[in-house]
Amino acid sequence: MSDLNTIFDLAIIGAGINGAGIARDASGRGLSVAVLDGGDIGGATSSASTKLIHGGLRYLEYYAFGLVRKALAEREVLLDIAPHITWPQPFVLPHAPGMRPEWLLRLGTLLYDNLARRQVMPGSERIDLRRERAGRALSSEYRNAFRYWDGWVDDARLVVENLKDARARGALVLPRTPVTRAERVDGLWQLTLGEGRTLRARRLINAAGPWAEDVARRVMGLNDAPPLRLVQGSHIVTRRVHLGRDAFMLQQPDGRIIFIIPYERDYSLIGTTEGDVQRPEDAKVSDAEVSYLLAAANRYLARPLSHDDVVHRFVGVRPLILETGKGDKETTRDYRLVDHAGLDAMTVVGGKITTYRVLAEDVLARIAPRSKGWTGSAPLPGGAIDRHRGEHGQTAFKRWLEQLQRREANYDPKLIKRLAMTIGAPTEGLLAGGLGRNLGGVFEAELDYFRDQEWATSGADVLWRRTKLGLHLDAAAQGEVARWFGEDAAAATEIPAGHRFARPGIA
């Protein structure tokens, strides 16, 4: 592994999914890479998304066929390389009188089925809600619906997985290391990090997400970064309203769409809202947004939700590329790569979790044009399980998990499943070594693993990003986790838990 005295081929500001994906791809092509984040890895937008690997059915309305096709094809790839943290997710889209006509929904879902090749993703179908389990969660006035499929991903873990692989291929990963200045010195980029440390690199990539414009202007001193429009999106987590696996895609009278998605076994995830913010750190889930989301869900639910059913909330900020004359919904969700001419520097903005790997390939095609893409067929570390020839990752993972549960019969199969669907392949080693003391639903060996292998340094890192145990553990157990990291037990209950958007620690 490289240290700070190395002259890196590539330095990346920002360890969200885009920075992490570029770091992995570049390291695998033999470049020496340093990736720095002012906060926890994946601590900003990339842990606050709706967690869908999707083409975006609704973007078809804006004729964004290219974007949708690119994202749809990528669903199969991500389900294959990260089978432990992804799965195909069915969505029920009820037809509601007075909203988009039924023929349009059918046309949209058919187009969605056929824009890209499908291997594990089933096709869409028209369903009768009176005969379906999902229908029982909805008010009886909704009778007809369409079921279509997208993917689900644990976004924060996808970041960790990419960085673990980057590190295994030689990259230096430095979380909690804000870059306060980046300047050209003797033909190299010199980055000033906290505590007077510096780092040098031949090339610089600004992947600072919603801070990208600010980093380009203030940290790198450039004036050709694309102007960004920052749009906050909030989610709430409620008691579970689902009766089965189906998620709901619900049309609203204002033309917007909200999702209700089965979440963490016992809960439902509802989102999102959209509203402009000036700075990323101004984003905060407002009570008005919670009321909006509850009303949007209750428009359809048989058993309405109330404010008392909300157990958690979080907000993220989309950096949308400013396009004059376009509203939130029409503004492109695609990414843009901006070359800072003659400076060996690039700013990466926009995009989706879904397309992070393609974005990284596009970046590498520009900066290392003679090297070849490799990440589409190489499993991420947690997905590196034995596969039969030609077997899809999803099938292999199910088989591997069942075998592991049979082999490790001394452990509760549910615990094995939880660990396997968190860290994947390394679960075998963790179980073989013994899990240590149970701190009330989380084991010491897990905390060791998150600290030693996954850069966790606080209770919040573990409870809300490496896992979502913050939703499941009681206050005493959360306090134990905080104490284990040397924090005051109260820190666990004071954790902002995503109510506010994290600030990456720069002035």
Ligand X SMILES: Cc1cc2nc3c(=O)[nH]c(=O)nc-3n(C[C@H](O)[C@H](O)[C@H](O)COP(=O)(O)OP(=O)(O)OC[C@H]3O[C@@H](n4cnc5c(N)ncnc54)[C@H](O)[C@@H]3O)c2cc1C
Residues that bind ligand X (CB under 6 A): 13-19, 36-39, 43-46, 49-52, 54, 178-179, 207-211, 215, 219, 233, 272, 316-318, 351-354, 504, 506
How near is the Cβ of 317 to ligand X at its closest, in Å? 6
Alpha carbons within 13 A on the beta-carbon side of 75? 29
| Residue whose pair of structure tokens reads 């503004």 in the numeric block | 331
Measured CA to CA, the distance from residue 293 to residue 85 in angstroms comes to 26
CB of 143 to ligand X, least distance (A): 28
Cα angle 351, 355, 358 (rounded to 5 degrees) comes to 115
DSSP character at residue 215? I
Residue 85: name the closest of 401, 478, 424 by CA: 424
When the beta carbons of 37 and 161 are compared against ligand X, the nearer one is 37
Partners of 234 in beta bridges: 315
**Helices in 246-336 by DSSP H: which ranges?**
287-298
Q: How far is the CB of 168 from ligand X (least distance, A)?
A: 20
Rounded to a whole number of angstroms, the minimum distance from the CB of residue 337 to ligand X is 12
Q: Which is nearer to ligand X, 133 or 279 (CB)?
A: 279
Nearer to ligand X among residue 95 and residue 357 (C-beta): 357
Cβ proximity to ligand X, 108 vs 504, nearer residue: 504
Give the list of residues 6+ apart from residue 301 with CB closer than 8 angstroms, or none: 137, 138, 139, 241
Residue 61 beta carbon to ligand X: minimum distance, rounded to whole angstroms: 17
CA diameter of the chain: 71
To ligand X, the closest distance from the beta carbon of 144 in angstroms equals: 26
Whichever of 45 and 375 has its CB closer to ligand X, that residue is 45
Q: Which is nearer to ligand X, 337 or 384 (CB)?
A: 337
Nearest distance, CB of residue 50 and ligand X, angstroms: 3
Which residue carries 């909704």 as its tokens? 142
Separation between Cα atoms, residue 490 and residue 395, nearest integer Å: 42
Instruction: Report d(CA 184, CA 34) in Å as an integer.
Output: 17
- Residues 232, 275: contact at Cβ < 8 Å? yes
Select 80 or 480, whichever has its Cβ closest to ligand X.
80
Element (H, E) at 413: helix 413-423
274 phi, psi to nearest 5 deg: -145, 125
CB of 253 to ligand X, least distance (A): 21
Select 95 or 352, whichever has its Cβ closest to ligand X: 352
**What amino acid is encoded at 225 in this protein?**
A
318 vs 387, beta carbon nearer ligand X:
318
Min dist CB 238 to ligand X, Å, is: 17
Q: Kindly tell me which of 176 and 387 has the beta carbon lying closer to ligand X.
A: 176
Kindly report the length of the chain: 507
DSSP string, 76-124: HHHHHH-TTSEEEEEEEEE--TTSS-HHHHHHHHHHHHHSS--SSPPPP
Q: How far is the CB of 215 from ligand X (least distance, A)?
A: 5
For residue 380, what are the contacts with CB-CB under 8 A and spacing of at least 6? 81, 82, 158, 161, 162, 164, 165, 424
Instruction: Find all residues with CB under 8 Å of 333, minimum gap 6, and list them.
Output: 56, 59, 64, 67, 318, 320, 350, 351, 352
Indicate the residue among 310 and 506 with the shorter CB distance to ligand X: 506
d(CA 258, CA 104): 18
CB of residue 183 to ligand X, shortest distance in Å: 14
At residue 314, the 3 state secondary structure works out as strand
Q: Give residue 132's identity as a one-letter amino acid code.
A: E
- If the CB atoms of residues 95 and 466 are measured against ligand X, the closer one turns out to be 466
Q: Which residue is nearest to ligand X (CB)?
A: 16
* Shortest distance, position 19 Cβ to ligand X, whole Å: 5
